[in-house]
Amino acid sequence: MAGSSLIVGLVLPFTFMIITSGIFWLRGPRKFLAELTAKGVAMKPVSPAWEYRSDFVLLGRPFIHVRVSGSLTVPVTPVKAWIAVGDYAVGWLFAFGNLAIAPVSIGSFPIGLVSFGGCAFGLLSLGGVSLGIWSFGALTFGWQAFGGCAIAWQAANGGVALAHDFAAGGVALALHANNDAARFYFRSSWYFQHARLPLRYLALLNLLWVIPMLARWRMVARSRRGRDLEI
Beta bridge partners of 156: 145, 167
Between 77 and 203, whose confidence is greater? Answer: 77
Contact predicate 112/103, CB 8 Å? yes
How many domains are there within the chain? 1
pLDDT of 56 > 50? The answer is yes
Terminal-to-terminal C-alpha distance of the chain: 58
pTM equals 0.72
Q: What is the pLDDT of residues 5-43, one digit of tens each?
A: 444 444 455 555 555 555 555 555 556 556 555 665 555
pLDDT tens-digit map of 180-200: 999 999 999 999 988 888 777
The vertex-109 CA angle with 4 and 102, nearest 5°, equals: 110
Residues 6+ apart with CB under 8 A from 199: 3, 6, 7
169: pLDDT strictly greater than 70 = yes
The Cα 79–Cα 87 span in angstroms is: 8
- What are the residues whose beta carbons fall under 8 Å from the beta carbon of 211, sequence distance 6 or more? none
Say if CB 117 and CB 106 are below 8 A apart. yes
Structural domain range at position 105: 2-230
Residue 167's DSSP bridge partners are 156, 177
128 versus 206: the higher-pLDDT residue is 128
